[in-house]
Each structure stands twice: as structure tokens, then as C-alpha cells.
């Protein structure tokens, strides 16, 4: 039994040995595992540290890039406001602006480059910035800046680049060949353009319209429910109308006036006139009026810009828009009669009682223009152009002694001068414009090509004539009755037609093919040396008539038709007798007739002053040297486009 304890002790020792071995092995493995874990943790920590440092570098690059882009943006906006076609001032301005924002050019470390060009539409209609072969005037600047930024912890240094393109369009607006002074003719002319609808607006209201202005942005705001520029370009309307579905041009202009009342001297007077016109009901059919266009299609307002929004600040005159709109509505329609009261027009009734009837036909209407100066890129077509109207104006002026006391009871004298004027459109274009620190120092240069005309004296146009009647500036080759003289004998013979004067229709071409330029300041005021209108049709007629009178005075007795009525029996005998006697007295009679014809000179000059000139001006027509009505220059606010 003694061996049992020893045996138990041996087993206990072995068990302890085994446990010790196992614990040692476990401890050794754990130590080895701990050494591996520490290495992995160290590696992960190192990677994390490198990544963190890299994030700092990336963040530094991002912030540097953002700051660099701000420098480019601000420099471009500043440079484009000092635009010149030589690109001298934009570079200096961009460098100064960048320096003020902490970016100074230094060798190859910090660089700044400026390119000037045009931000314009391409042939496909897409907008692009053209820097090579750009057509002046330039309206855009591209500024590119670069900066060397080192990595603080990871990798070599890097060069960052930022670029910005800004544009600042200069917008001019004008109308060629109009006058706003003769408001006394407007009621009659607008009545005629509306097909005979009676228009009765007082002079105060007309003057209110003449001194009323709106911006293109005002039109866009009220033209459609959405108030967009695309809506403005798509809008077609009538001249009158004040309903929601058909507001009409007059109502649209009235609404636009309220958008910026500071532009109008008397908003109330202008709106009163527009409300009267809006409520009128035209006689007969009229054309729809397209309000604005940028593609050159016929419209009231031609916008010489790639995007209609560029012309937002351009101003236009309300009265001129209304008259041009009326002419668009009447273009191509039948001739219309202008009812005019000549009794209060000084100079026409001071010699002999005078009468004048006027009809006109609008062949092609005038246009107003607002846009940028210069040529369309790659062409010789001007970006911003306005044209005068092509008008057929017929006037039948005459004098008569019928109602002259004493004289009219003895001698009956009638002299009739029918003539008509066919005027081809003239054109004006915005050649250049330069903004300065003040509007007074800013300049606009507008080129003018005047229209040509053909004046036909004699052979009154028949009722229902069309434009083809006088196409090609040709006058009819026929005779016309200039004057008739009758004598009240107080005998059974009664009144005898003792003389009549006839002549061939006279054609007087008025051609001024030379172009000229007119200069204006930023307010639209003409500068010294500019031309004014010269619608001296009456003077042309007078000179031509005097030549015709001389020719008539040199006619033989056969050219002077002397008749006594009736032409049968005793009348024929008396006719022959009186013709023989009067032929012998021709040297006495002819000076009387030519003297009577000469009395038309002041009448024709009076027509220049009070009728023909102002009427043609109101219709947008100029002959000789065109008159350009210019509006304030809109110097565009600089905007980033790229």
C-alpha cells in the first residue's frame, strides 16, 4: 500500500509539468501574436498619418484653386468694363484687380494672361467666345491665371490654372427719319392708318407720349404671362385692343410705362393717350405686329444682339413705337386718305385760297433698332440696323378764285398741282459705341444711308392705284391740266373757258446715294456738326415748276389751247375769232398765266413746312439727309458667361 502515495505524487508532478509546458507554449504564442499586432497597428497608423497629411495637401490645393478662380472671376469682371479693341486697358485693369486681391504676377510662379474677343452666337446658334479674328467692337475678356502650389507632405509641387470669361455689351437704340414735333398731324395720320377710324387725342396727351420711354426689359415683363425674353420675341399682337386675350400694342405699352415711371415726364398723359388708342376699333383688316426680332425678320424692334436679354436696359420712345406699329399694321394695304385741316396752317392761305388732299400707302414700314455696334462676325452686315419706311404719298394741291370777292365773279381761275412721291427706304446702323465714366463723355457713331425718291408732277393717281402703278420709280407719260381760265361775260354766252394750260408729266428723281455718319453722346444728344432732316419736297417742286413755266411761256400759239364753248355753230366761229385775237395778244396773256403759276411758290414752300416734311417725318421717311433720333446708351453690366 506504500507505493500508492508515491504514485499519486508522480502523477501530480506530471500534471504540473504538462500544465507548465502548455502555459509556456501559450505565453510564447501570445507574445509572438502581440509582436505581429503591434507591427500591423504601426503600419496602419503610418498609412493613416500619410493619408491625413495628403488630405491636408489636397485641401490646400482645393482652397488654392478656389481662391485662384475668384481672382480670375473678379479680374475678368473688372477688365471687361474697361474694354477697348486694342485690348490695352483690360490687361492693365486685370493685373491691378488681381493684385488688389492678393495675386501678384511673378515670373513663372504666378502668371496672368488676358485675351479679348467677342461673346457671340455661332452659325448654329450656340454661344461661344471668339478670340481670333473677332469682329470689333469687342465685348468680352478671358482672364487666365496660374499659380505654383507645392505639396507640403506628399509629392512634388503642382501648377494650378483658373480661367474666367466675362462680357459687357454696349447697347445703343435709335430710330431713323422721324420727328416728334408735329403732333398736330398725328390724329389725321393715325386715323388714316387705322382705316379711317376717328382719332381725337389732345396735344397734351400726344406730348405725353412723345416724352415717354420704356426699356426692353419693361416690354419683356408685360409682353407675356411668363414675362420672358423668349415670350417677347414670339409675341405678335394688334395695334389696338385691351382685353386679356388681346391686349394690343397700345395696352402693352401702357403697362410697360408703369415699370419704370422715372423714364417718362408725364405718365398720366401718356397712359390717357394709350387708353384711347387701345379702345379704338380699326376699319378693315390690319396686319399683326411682331414686337421684336433678333433674326432680322420684320418686326417693330430689331434687336442686334445674340441674346435678347443683352438689350434689357435699352430705352425706346413710346410714340415712335406706336407710329411704327401702326405702319406695320397698314403695310401693303390699300391707299388711305389723310384728313388734314389746312385752315390753321400758316403760309398756305396768304396768297390765294388753297386746298390739298393727301393719300398715302405704306409699302414697307420703318423699324426701330437696339443692339450692339459693329459687324456680325465674319460678315459685312451691321449688327444693329434701322430702316425708314417706303411710302407712296400723293398730294393734290390747288388754288381757285371761285370764292374770292369781286374777282371770282368775273374771272374764274383754277390751278391744280397733283404730285406724288415714291420714297425708297433709307438705313441707319450703329457703327461704334464707347462707354466712358459719364454719359456725357460716352460716344455713339451712327452711319446713315439715305433713301431715294421719285417725285412725279402731274397726272393724279387714279382711285384704287397700287404700288405696281409706280414701280421702278417711273412716272406716267401723259399730260395733265395745269390751269384753266374762264371769263364771266355777263352776256347770253355766259361763262367762257378762254384758256387752258397743259403739260407733260414731269419726273423729278431725288437721289442722294452717299452715306454719312452722325455722332451722339451717351444721352443721345447730337454732337456738333451733325446733319438734320431736309425733306424739302416743296422746294424741289417749286424749282421744277418754274422751269416748266418758262417752257410753257416759250410755247408757240399752238401750244396754248384757247376755246370758246359751245363748239358748234356760232360758238365755233367765235372760238376761231377769239383764238385769232388772243393769239395776237399772246405776249400779253402768257405773262399773266405764268405769273399765276408763279404764285404757287410760297404755297409749295408752305407745304414743306406744315405738311409734307412733318408728315414724311412722322411716317419714318427722310429724303436727302436722314434725321436720326438717338436714345441713351446702355453700358452693359459686366457678367460672367464662362
Residue 214: beta bridge partners?
316
Three-state DSSP string of 400-440? ECCCCCCHHHHEEEEEEEEEEEEECCCEEEEEEEECCCCCC
Contact 457, 540 (CB under 8 A): no
State how far the Cα of 219 lies from the Cα of 259, in Å rounded to an integer.
9
C-alpha cell at 408: 371770282
**Angle subtended by helix axes 537-553 and 586-598, to nearest 10:** 180
Report how far residue 503's alpha carbon sits from residue 500's, in angstroms, rounded to the nearest whole number. 10
In this structure, what C-alpha cell is assigned to residue 467?
Answer: 404700288
On whether the CB atoms of residues 314 and 370 are closer than 8 A, the answer is: yes
Q: What is the pLDDT at residue 70? A: 93
pLDDT digits (tens, 9 = 90+) for 555-575: 433 444 444 444 455 556 666
> Is a pLDDT exceeding 80 seen at residue 601?
no
Ranking 195-209, 273-287, 491-505, 535-549 by mean pLDDT, the lowest is 535-549
pLDDT at 610: 58
> What pLDDT was estimated at residue 559?
42
Tell me which of 552 and 75 has the higher pLDDT: 75
Question: Tell me, what's the pLDDT at 468?
Answer: 60
pLDDT at residue 275, rounded to an integer: 92
Among 156, 306, 338, 312, CA closest to 220? 312
Mean of the per-residue pLDDT values for the chain?
A: 74
Distance CA 427, CA 151 (A): 63
Q: Do residues 136 and 112 make contact, with C-beta atoms less than 8 angstroms apart?
A: no
The reported pLDDT for the residue numbered 165 is 93
What digits encode the pLDDT tens for the residues 361-402?
A: 888 888 899 988 888 877 888 989 988 888 887 777 766 666
DSSP 281: -
Beta strand spans in 219-340 (E) = 236-237, 289-290, 292-293, 301-304, 315-317, 336-338
Which of 132-136, 249-253, 304-308 has the highest mean predicted lDDT (pLDDT)?
Answer: 249-253
Is residue 368 within 8 A of residue 172, CB to CB? The reply is no
Distance, CA of 370 to CA of 186 (rounded, Å): 25
Residue 11 — φ and ψ, nearest 5°? -65, -40
Strand 411-423 vs strand 390-400: parallel, antiparallel, or unpaired? Answer: antiparallel
What's the whole-number mean pLDDT along residues 66-76? Answer: 92
Q: Strand pairing of 158-167 and 639-640?
A: antiparallel
At 306, the pLDDT band (50, 70, 90 cuts) reads confident
Q: How far apart are CA 443 and CA 463, in angstroms?
A: 49
Residue 253 has pLDDT above 90, yes or no: yes
Beta strands in 255-339 (DSSP E): 289-290, 292-293, 301-304, 315-317, 336-338
* CA separation for the pair 138, 86 (Å, rounded): 9
pLDDT at 74 over 90: yes
Instruction: Reply yes or no on whether the pLDDT at 34 is more than 60.
Output: no
| Residue 129 grid cell | 467666345
Of residues 61 and 555, more confidently modeled:
61
Nearest CA to 537 out of 386, 421, 400 is that of 421
The whole-number pLDDT of residue 111 equals: 92
Give me the mean pLDDT over the 175-179 stretch.
Answer: 65
Q: What is the pLDDT of residue 562?
A: 47
- pLDDT tens readout for residues 402-442: 655 555 555 666 666 677 777 777 788 999 888 887 888 88
Of the candidates 272, 318, 286, 278, the one whose C-alpha atom is nearest the C-alpha of residue 196 is 286
pTM for this entry: 0.70
Question: What pLDDT does 560 receive?
Answer: 44
3-state class (DSSP) for residue 508: strand
Q: pLDDT class for 346, splitting at 50, 70, 90?
A: very low
The predicted pLDDT at position 623 comes to 54
562: left (phi over 0), alpha (psi -120 to 50) or beta: beta
Q: How far apart are CA 364 and CA 425, in angstroms?
A: 8
Within 81-200, where are the H helices?
A: 89-100, 186-193
Amino acid at each position: 500500500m506504500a507505493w500508492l502515495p508515491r504514485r499519486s505524487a508522480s502523477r501530480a508532478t506530471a500534471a504540473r509539468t504538462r500544465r507548465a509546458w502548455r502555459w509556456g507554449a501559450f505565453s510564447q504564442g501570445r507574445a509572438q501574436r502581440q509582436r505581429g499586432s503591434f507591427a500591423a497597428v504601426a503600419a496602419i497608423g503610418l498609412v493613416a498619418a500619410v493619408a491625413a497629411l495628403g488630405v491636408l495637401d489636397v485641401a490646400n490645393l482645393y482652397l488654392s484653386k478656389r481662391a485662384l478662380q475668384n481672382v480670375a472671376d473678379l479680374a475678368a469682371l473688372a477688365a471687361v468694363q474697361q474694354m477697348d479693341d486694342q485690348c490695352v486697358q483690360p490687361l492693365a485693369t486685370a493685373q491691378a484687380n488681381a493684385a488688389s486681391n492678393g495675386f501678384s504676377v511673378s515670373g513663372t510662379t504666378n502668371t496672368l494672361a488676358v485675351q479679348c474677343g467677342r461673346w457671340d452666337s455661332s452659325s448654329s446658334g450656340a454661344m461661344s467666345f471668339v478670340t481670333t479674328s473677332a469682329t470689333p467692337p469687342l465685348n468680352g475678356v478671358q482672364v487666365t491665371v496660374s499659380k505654383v502650389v507645392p505639396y507640403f507632405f506628399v509629392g512634388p509641387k503642382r501648377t494650378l490654372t483658373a480661367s474666367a470669361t466675362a462680357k459687357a455689351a454696349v447697347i445703343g437704340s435709335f430710330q431713323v427719319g422721324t420727328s416728334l414735333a408735329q403732333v398736330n398731324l398725328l390724329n389725321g395720320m393715325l386715323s388714316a392708318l387705322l382705316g379711317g377710324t376717328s382719332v381725337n387725342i389732345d396735344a397734351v396727351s400726344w406730348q405725353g407720349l412723345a416724352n415717354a420711354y420704356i426699356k426692353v426689359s419693361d416690354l419683356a415683363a408685360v409682353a407675356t404671362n411668363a414675362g420672358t425674353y423668349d415670350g417677347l420675341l414670339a409675341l405678335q399682337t394688334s395695334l389696338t385692343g385691351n382685353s386679356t386675350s388681346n391686349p394690343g400694342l397700345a395696352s402693352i405699352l401702357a403697362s410697360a410705362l408703369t415699370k419704370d415711371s422715372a423714364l417718362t415726364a408725364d405718365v398720366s398723359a401718356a397712359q390717357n393717350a394709350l387708353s384711347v388708342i387701345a379702345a379704338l376699333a380699326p376699319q378693315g383688316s390690319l396686319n399683326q405686329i411682331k414686337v421684336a426680332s433678333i433674326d432680322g425678320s420684320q418686326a417693330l424692334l430689331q434687336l442686334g444682339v445674340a441674346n435678347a436679354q443683352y438689350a434689357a436696359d435699352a430705352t425706346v420712345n413710346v410714340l415712335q413705337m406706336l407710329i411704327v406699329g401702326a405702319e406695320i399694321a397698314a403695310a401693303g394695304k390699300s391707299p388711305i386718305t389723310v384728313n388734314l385741316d389746312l385752315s390753321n396752317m400758316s403760309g398756305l392761305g396768304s396768297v390765294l385760297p388753297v386746298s390739298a388732299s393727301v393719300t398715302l400707302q405704306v409699302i414697307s414700314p420703318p423699324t426701330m433698332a437696339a443692339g450692339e455696334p459693329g459687324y456680325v462676325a465674319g460678315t459685312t452686315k451691321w449688327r444693329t440696323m434701322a430702316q425708314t419706311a417706303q411710302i407712296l404719298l400723293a398730294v393734290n394741291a390747288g388754288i381757285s378764285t371761285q370764292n374770292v370777292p369781286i374777282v371770282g365773279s368775273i374771272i374764274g381761275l383754277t390751278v391744280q398741282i397733283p404730285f406724288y412721291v415714291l420714297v425708297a427706304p433709307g438705313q441707319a446702323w450703329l457703327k461704334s459705341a464707347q462707354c466712358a465714366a459719364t454719359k456725357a463723355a460716352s460716344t455713339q457713331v451712327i452711319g446713315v444711308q439715305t433713301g431715294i425718291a421719285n417725285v412725279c408732277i402731274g397726272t393724279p393717281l387714279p382711285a384704287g392705284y397700287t404700288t405696281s402703278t409706280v414701280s421702278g420709280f417711273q412716272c406716267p407719260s401723259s399730260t395733265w391740266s395745269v390751269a384753266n381760265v374762264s371769263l364771266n361775260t355777263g352776256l347770253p354766252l355766259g361763262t367762257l373757258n378762254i384758256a387752258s394750260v397743259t403739260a407733260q408729266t414731269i419726273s423729278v428723281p431725288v437721289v442722294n446715294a452717299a452715306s454719312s455718319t452722325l455722332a451722339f453722346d451717351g444721352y443721345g444728344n447730337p454732337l456738333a456738326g451733325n446733319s438734320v432732316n431736309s425733306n424739302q419736297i416743296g422746294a424741289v417742286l417749286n424749282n421744277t415748276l418754274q422751269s416748266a413755266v418758262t417752257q410753257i411761256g416759250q410755247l408757240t400759239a399752238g401750244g396754248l389751247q384757247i376755246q370758246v364753248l359751245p363748239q358748234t355753230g356760232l360758238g365755233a366761229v367765235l372760238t376761231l375769232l377769239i383764238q385769232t385775237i388772243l393769239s395776237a395778244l399772246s405776249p400779253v396773256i402768257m405773262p399773266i398765266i405764268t405769273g399765276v403759276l408763279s404764285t404757287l411758290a410760297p404755297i409749295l414752300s408752305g407745304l414743306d413746312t406744315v405738311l409734307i416734311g412733318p408728315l414724311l417725318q412722322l411716317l419714318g421717311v427722310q429724303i436727302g439727309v436722314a434725321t436720326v433720333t438717338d436714345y441713351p446708351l446702355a453700358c452693359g453690366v459686366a457678367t460672367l458667361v464662362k
